[in-house]
Amino acid sequence: MYVRALQNGENIGRAARSAPAVLLVAAVTIVLTACGGGQVQTFHPAGAQIAANGSGGPAATGFAAAVHVEFQTPLPSQPAQAQAVRGDQAFWVAFFRTLYSHGRNLGYLSDVAKAHGQTVTQGGATLTTGGSYGLSYLANDVANYRAKDHGITGTVVFSDTTVAPDPADPGDWDVSSCVNESQLPDTGSTGQVLPSTESQSQEYYYQTDLLTRGSGGRWLVADWDLVAQYPEGKAEQCMS
């Protein structure tokens, strides 16, 4: 969804940062044909569901019933890493809730590190980006959903999540994941599912988030990096 604000094949890179991963679940294995090779490969995720966005059960309503944010990889055994991953998961659940709300519920901003206090104003909403180029793209995506009166429904899967120390910021963590948005269509102003106009590279990709500890001790997202898309960018980290 958020990557859909980008052009096909366009990547967002953070200078001097390397890429790790995030997690999600898939009920089925998605088989794709690699670009230019004719070789059949599998884009993860594939595995048993470990965690979701708290939805579940016939009584679920609203966001919990309409959108499922699924995480596959178990939390790291190291406490600091596990806390960073939990912070990352909280950010993405809140972000997809924002898209579900047609860009009107901006609760995800409470999970953004605002050390630099920079903002962008789009579609009548002023959004804090924390000085991050990557997060400014996400803010622009929120503004697009607000302007078009679009929402989302379905399932987004994070898989093969990894955590590593950020090489540029001691004490911070890079949380990387393979992401599958192929089952997360947009909805229109009345809630109807809209036909997809996206390419595979806008639905399957590998990303890295920079997590930093906020003043209150919470782990917050300070940057987002679209490392590679599939199939244009191959996203080899997500290929079996």
Tens digit of pLDDT for each residue in 138-195? 888 999 999 999 999 999 999 999 999 999 989 999 999 999 999 999 999 999 999 9
Q: Which residues form the domain of 106?
A: 2-238
Give yes or no for residue 13 having a pLDDT over 80: no
Q: Kind of pairing, strands 125-128 and 119-122?
A: antiparallel
Ranges 24-33, 67-76, 119-128, 167-176: which has the least confidence: 24-33
Please say whether the dihedral angle defined by the alpha carbons of residues 177, 24, 215 and 127, taken in this order, is positive or negative. Answer: positive
Which CATH number is 51's domain given?
3.10.450.50
The answer to whether 65 and 181 are in contact (CB under 8 A) is no
Grouping H, G, I as helix, E, B as strand and the rest as coil, residue 175 is: strand
Distance CA(79)–CA(194), nearest Å, equals 42
Terminus-to-terminus CA distance in the chain, angstroms? 24
- What phi and psi, each to the nearest 5 degrees, are found at residue 164? -150, 150
1 or 97: which leads in pLDDT: 97
162: which strand partners?
21, 176
pTM as predicted: 0.76
- Going from the C-alpha of 198 to that of each of 1, 7, 66, 168, the distances in angstroms are 10, 10, 20, 34
Following CA atoms 64, 215, 140, 121 in sequence, which dihedral angle do they give, to the nearest 10 degrees?
120
Q: How many folded domains does the chain comprise? A: 1
With a CB cutoff of 8 Å and minimum separation 6, the contacts of 80 are: 173
For residue 97, the Cα-to-chain-centroid distance in whole angstroms is: 12
The answer to whether 223 and 209 are in contact (CB under 8 A) is yes
The answer to whether 14 and 133 are in contact (CB under 8 A) is yes
Tens digit of pLDDT for each residue in 192-236? 999 988 777 778 899 999 999 988 899 999 999 999 887 766 677
- What phi and psi, each to the nearest 5 degrees, are found at residue 185? -75, 160
Distance CA(163)–CA(208), nearest Å, equals 9
220: which strand partners?
212
The answer to whether 67 and 153 are in contact (CB under 8 A) is yes
